[in-house]
Amino acid sequence: MKSIVQQYRGGITLLVVLVMYGFAALMMNRPADAQIYSRVGSLGQGFNCTIISTATALTEVTGCSAPTAGSRYITDISWSSSIISTTTNYMLIRSGTGADCGSATASLWAGFSLAFTHNAVHFTTPIKATALHAICFVHPGTGTRNVNIQGFLQ
């Protein structure tokens, strides 16, 4: 007759073997083209828009033109600038239609920064741009800005 400890050890071993067998069976039965998606990839087609600019007026971010269908959802924004932010001079992300978001413009996000610093924001709840709108930025004043916007289309 086995002691309680021997029976307990045997039960745990059997449980571990069954769990591992089940995991192996799952992996072997998945389709060959199955993919594991990241947080963004599972929500829609991902996008990454980047621009280095000296523009002082509203400017479309390269790669963030108006989609042919759906909306852009912004999950991350990072930027750096050679310009220090003030109450009238700060980074502003907008959406709109037409050249450089000149029509139907909607403000999406604003941020302040020191000159020559890297800034990044990550949104738990993505910011939804109006459907069929491009994404643009403005940070007035003389200097250079580097803007990167990431998210997904849906």
CA distances from 15 to 4, 24, 73, 91 (A): 17, 14, 44, 56
DSSP one-letter code for 61: P
- For the stretch 47-64, pLDDT in tens is 999 999 999 899 999 999
DSSP one-letter code for 127: E
Q: Are 73 and 129 in contact (CB under 8 A)?
A: yes
Would you state the pLDDT for residue 71? 94
Q: Are 73 and 44 in contact (CB under 8 A)?
A: yes
The H or E element that residue 120 is part of is strand 118-128
Collapsing DSSP to helix, strand or coil, 33 comes out as coil
**What is the rounded distance in angstroms from the CA atom of residue 143 to the CA atom of residue 56?**
8
**What is the rounded distance in angstroms from the CA atom of residue 145 to the CA atom of residue 90?**
11
**What is the rounded distance in angstroms from the CA atom of residue 137 to the CA atom of residue 58?**
6
Place of tokens 């403000």: 107
Q: What is the CATH number of domain 45-153?
A: 2.60.120.260
Mean pLDDT, 10 residues at a time, the chain of 154 residues: 54 42 40 41 83 94 95 95 87 94 94 91 95 94 92 94
- For the stretch 10-19, pLDDT in tens is 555 444 333 3
**What is the rounded distance in angstroms from the CA atom of residue 8 to the CA atom of residue 106?**
64
Q: Hey, where are the domains in the chain?
A: 1-34, 45-153
